[in-house]
A = this chain, B = another copy of it.
Amino acid sequence: MTRLSYARAVSLALAEAMEADDRVFVLGEDVAHGGAYGATVGLLDRFGPSRVRDTPISEAAIVGYSVGASLAGMRPVAEIMHMDFIACAMDQVVNQAAKVRYMSGGKASAPLVIRAGTGGWLSAAAQHSQSLEAWFTHIPGIKVVTGGTPADARGLLLAAVADENPVLVIESLSLYERQDEVPDAPPPYRLGTADLKRRGDDVTIVTWGAMVPRVLEAADVLHGEGVGADVIDLLTLRPWDADAVLASVSRTNRALVVHQAYRHGGFGAEIAATIAERAFDQLDAPVGRVGSLDVPVPFSPPLEEYVLPTAERVAAAVRAMA
């Protein structure tokens, strides 16, 4: 075990992946300089400029080159500095990477990884704070993963690089400096498998990404109040582990979905609708959802703090279900 920050866990995974497989290379704005948020520190020195490529400000081409390189035998790992900027590359992500295999009848595949720094609590306002996973969980052909701890960030990224499909890896910028234990040997992660982060019998809380530590905090508080929560960290959002969620709900009979993204139309809606449909007879209360308010993310800290979900609001939502 070593204590590493989330950002350092990401660079560790990148180095491990590049070490293990010559075909892996990274590209993106400033990645050769360590990345705007430090996730690629040390890679240039270790792997050289051919495999650690700074790009112009050209998100569509960053992803487009990755598609082409993956079709031609490489394993690109592209960095999108803020997930909001992926809006500039949507065609390449959704209409190309996610569809090339299908459109070709299985002839081609594009094993590429896109890493996107995501989310708020940066006082960076509406164009630098969004969690847009719902755009991609809606799209067949791409996988979506996100870790809420350094260890998960590392394990998922390694699994994403090893996967034969395009994978979007969402990294929470607000967690980048957070330190935690990371095992020495990279443990195997299976995409599509959720992780039960905490066990409790009264409610199932399904969450991911930046909300994981906040939900665990809320679960602590609830525990003190005599309410036990299963905290399921989905880890993979597409395909998501419905079995794990439903198994838990069949025990707790209550469910809450929590994500940082706008609550309205967020991926939580899919999970809530699925639980409500498939666990219909088991539910003692409506499935709750906590996410950002239905407004763009504002700049000023008190506004942003109000708009984004907090541990307190998660706890309050659980209490309201009692």
A residues at B contact (CB < 8 Å):
60, 84-85, 87-88, 90-91, 93-95, 98-99, 102-103, 125-127, 132, 134-135, 137-141, 238, 261-262, 264-270, 272-273, 276-278, 280, 283, 285-289, 294-296, 298
CB atoms of B288 and A277 under 8 A apart: yes
- Cα distance, A296 to B139, chains bound together (Å): 8
Considering the complex, give the chain B residue whose CB is closest to the CB of A141: B296
Nearest chain B CB to A94 CB, angstrom units: 5
- Cα distance, A98 to B60, chains bound together (Å): 21
Candidate in A126, A269, A287 with the most chain B CB atoms within 10 angstroms? A269
CB atoms of A296 and B103 under 8 A apart: yes
- Cα distance, A298 to B140, chains bound together (Å): 12
CB atoms of A138 and B134 under 8 A apart: yes
* Option from B87, B132, B134, B285 in Cβ contact (under 8 Å) with A265: B134
CB atoms of B277 and A272 under 8 A apart: yes
Enumerate chain B residues within 8 angstroms of A127, measured Cβ to Cβ.
95, 99, 103
- Cα distance, A277 to B289, chains bound together (Å): 9
Enumerate chain B residues within 8 angstroms of A137, measured Cβ to Cβ.
264-265
Q: What are 11 inter-chain pairs, A to B, with CB distance below 8 A?
A: A60-B88, A87-B90, A103-B296, A134-B138, A135-B135, A140-B295, A140-B296, A141-B296, A272-B277, A277-B289, A280-B285
* Option from B60, B98, B283, B289 in Cβ contact (under 8 Å) with A296: B98
Enumerate chain B residues within 8 angstroms of A296, measured Cβ to Cβ.
98-99, 102-103, 140-141
- Cα distance, A265 to B266, chains bound together (Å): 8
Considering the complex, give the chain B residue whose CB is closest to the CB of A257: B273
- Cα distance, A127 to B140, chains bound together (Å): 13
* Option from B91, B103, B238, B295 in Cβ contact (under 8 Å) with A88: B91
